[in-house]
């Protein structure tokens, strides 16, 4: 049991880290293309304290991952090879809102997400078991992140 849970936990952590990297790069791309002022935050993250007030920018707004992807995809226009797939939103939502079940101490963890209930019933919208699927998720999110990095590189090169 410990090995199954340890593998699941490691994959989960790596997947979440990749999703956070993707979101940050989307926000950075939008910041660089929509708010190209020299300072992207009033003060650096190391200087911020709880209670500080900072400007609302793509780095600080409350846009969801899906909205960020829509804005990014609209901004890159004709570069279809750099479009980010919205499938990562389903993954992120499953990790954020799903329920992890451990049927027994010998079985791998199962992640299940349900849609909003209606008339006392709900539909299963996501179900994955074990750690293997997380290894593929890590690769998939990394591939989407690489697209945004390429767009950032192109944007930086175009500004020079």
d(CA 49, CA 41): 13
Query: Residue 53: its pLDDT value, please?
Result: 87
pLDDT score, position 76: 94
- Tens digit of pLDDT at every position of the chain (160 positions): 678 888 889 999 999 999 999 999 999 999 988 876 655 567 788 888 999 888 888 989 999 999 999 999 999 988 889 999 999 999 999 999 999 998 877 788 999 999 999 999 999 999 999 899 999 999 999 999 999 999 999 886 544 4
Question: How far is residue 15's CA from residue 29's CA, in Å, rounded to a whole number?
Answer: 21
pLDDT at 104: 79
Question: Residue 36: what pLDDT?
Answer: 64
DSSP-assigned states of every residue in 82-132: GPPPTHHHHHHHHHHH-EEE-SSTTSPPEEEEEPPPBTTB--EEEEEESSH
- 25: left (phi > 0), else alpha (psi -120 to 50), else beta? alpha
How far, in Å, are 20, 65, 69, 89, 132 from residue 23 at the CA level? Answer: 5, 7, 9, 10, 23
- Total Cβ atoms within 10 A of residue 45: 7
């Amino acid at each position: 049991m410990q090995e199954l849970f340890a593998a699941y936990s490691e994959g989960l952590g790596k997947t979440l880290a990749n999703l956070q990297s993707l979101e940050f790069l989307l926000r950075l791309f939008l910041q660089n293309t929509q708010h190209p002022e020299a300072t992207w935050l009033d003060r650096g993250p190391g200087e911020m304290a709880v209670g500080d007030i900072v400007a609302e920018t793509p780095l600080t707004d409350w846009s969801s991952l899906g909205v960020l992807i829509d804005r990014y995809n609209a901004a890159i226009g004709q570069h279809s090879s750099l479009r980010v797939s919205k499938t990562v939103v389903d993954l992120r939502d499953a990790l954020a809102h799903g329920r992890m079940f451990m049927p027994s101490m010998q079985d791998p963890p199962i992640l299940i997400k349900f849609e909003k209930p209606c008339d006392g019933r709900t539909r299963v919208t996501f179900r994955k078991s074990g750690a293997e699927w997380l290894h593929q998720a890590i690769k998939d999110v990394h591939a989407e992140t690489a697209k945004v990095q390429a767009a950032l590189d192109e944007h930086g090169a175009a500004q020079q």
